[in-house]
Amino acid sequence: MIGAGIGGGIIGLAADSLVKAVNYTMITDVQISERVGKGTVHEQFNSNLQNGTASGTTQTLSKHSDYQRYRTRVVSNADKVNLSFAEARPALEQGLVKTLAGIF
């Protein structure tokens, strides 16, 4: 009886080592530029740059552009047992496409 329990435990351990839950996560930063019909877009960029703890620099840049810009971050996820990246890639890409299509 004890031998059967030990044998079952060894078989279970071997089976568990063959099965791995794999998760791939893709994070994509997206910037979309859209040409404005009439007029221009006024852009202002502000930067606060720290030089250690004692000092810093503040910069401001202003310019006019013919494009309105939108930025977002998209997170796509694929999760499956024994998943390879080749299998996960279409699901990751589809998650990105679905989110981008929802913006428009």
Which is it for the CA torsion 74, 80, 86, 87, positive or negative? negative
What is the percent of the chain where pLDDT is above 70? 84
Residues 6+ apart with CB under 8 A from 33: 67, 68, 69
| DSSP notation for 21-40 | EEEEEEEEEEEEEEE-SSS-
Using one digit for the tens of pLDDT, what is the confidence trace for 54-97? Answer: 888 999 989 999 988 889 999 999 999 999 999 999 999 999 99
* Domain assignments of the chain as residue spans, ordered by start: 20-103
pTM score > 0.85 for this model?
no
